[in-house]
Amino acid sequence: MKEVVFLVEEPSMKEFLRGILPRVIPDNVSYTIIHHEGKQDLERSIPKKLRAFRKQNTQFVVLSN
């Protein structure tokens, strides 16, 4: 199964994605949404998240202002 990890800058984007993704992501794709406390927190966490989710069939989407 394919997995998509969404790294977002703030909780409001997480809530937006929680509302829309179930309608647009196919059933054979799982996803995780991880929110951060601002842009600097997001930027610092990217290398850690890439290592933590280092699995086959995992893709990342980074959303920031």
Q: Give the span between the Cα atoms of 58 and 65, in whole angstroms.
A: 23
Specify the pTM: 0.90
Could you report the per-residue pLDDT of 14-51, keeping only the tens digit for each?
A: 999 999 999 999 999 999 999 999 999 999 999 999 88
Distances (CA, A) of 63 to 1, 13, 27, 28: 23, 8, 22, 23
pLDDT at 52: 87
Residues 59 and 5 sit within 8 Å (Cβ to Cβ): yes
55 pLDDT exceeds 80?
no
pLDDT at 24: 96
